[in-house]
Amino acid sequence: MGIYSKPVVFALIATLVILVGTVVTVFVPMFMPSTQPVSAYVKPYTAIEQEGRDIYMREGCNNCHTQTVRPLRTEVLRYGEYSKAEEFAWDRPFLWGSRRTGPDLNRVGGKYPDSWHYKHMHSPQSMFALSNMPPYGWLANNKLDTSESFRKTQILGYGYSEAEVQQQIADYKAKVTAPDYNSKATRDEVTPEALRGELTEMDAIIAYMQKLGRDVKAMESQQ
């Protein structure tokens, strides 16, 4: 029983023992392209969508919503085409979740108009009386902070130039503040007057919602 009286040797052996499974199932797959394939049809998030994703993380939305549709008949019926590995190539971190208190969101992009989301984020209960989702109307009271947007896309390796990021922000702002924006009435309803001409956190999280699954849908409609 030698090693039970040699603590350092014991600790080293224990470390080796726990590293076997770790190396085989975690470290080796990191270097296998099949673990996280990359595909040209999946585009990185725009700066605004990324800001929305960060708000999604800040609010812990992943505690109630998954973002992975399993290849099961009823699941595909409910949410749409099952999730493919390459869709997540830009996701740092992944947001697949572990509990569906609310529905899966991996195919929510394009499912509803922006106005639906403005109304729903503002008061889920106004649309579904029995929903238990917390209301997020206050997101529209916060002006979106885009001061670090470019650095975020740099760290995440999206490959945008600073000018491109500024353009993305300006374009999205122009879109949601335009007089002919198709969800203008609802946006104005939930956004305080002073911020109607600005981008809010609500605008960003909705941009993110609308991105989810869009690349897959775009690819399918081309085929």
Cβ at position 27, least distance to another protein in Å: 9
Residue 13 to residue 218: CA distance in whole angstroms: 52
Show the site string, 73-92: x = touches another protein by CB under 8 A, - = not.
-xx-xx----xxx-xxxxxx
Stretch that binds another protein, among 52-60, 112-120, 161-169, 202-210 (CB under 8 A): 52-60
- E strand or H helix at 201: helix 201-211
Choosing from 43, 133, 181, 218, the residue that interacts with another protein (CB under 8 A) is: 133
Tokens of 41: 């049809």
Question: Does 161 contact another protein by CB under 8 A?
Answer: no
Q: Are 44 and 90 in contact (CB under 8 A)?
A: yes
Q: How far, in whole angstroms, is CA 61 from its chain's centroid?
A: 9
Q: How far is the CB of 5 from another protein (least distance, A)?
A: 5
Q: Which stretch binds another protein (CB under 8 A): 95-103, 179-187, 189-197, 205-213?
A: 95-103
41 lines the binding site for another protein (CB under 8 A): no
- Does the footprint of another protein cover residue 40 (CB under 8 A)? no
- Identify the CA nearest to 198 among candidates 148, 139, 153: 139
Q: Is 54 in the site for another protein (CB under 8 A)?
A: yes
Residue whose CB is less far from another protein, 143 or 152: 152
Least Cα distance to 192 among 142, 141, 123 occurs for 141
Figure out which of the listed residues 40, 130, 163, 194 binds another protein, where binding follows CB under 8 A: 130
Q: Does 98 bind another protein (CB under 8 A)?
A: yes
Q: Which is nearer to another protein, 87 or 114 (CB)?
A: 87
Name the 3-class secondary structure at 51.
helix
CA–CA distance, 32 with 167 (Å, rounded to integer): 36
Q: Is 36 in the site for another protein (CB under 8 A)?
A: yes
DSSP string, 58-70: HTTGGGT------
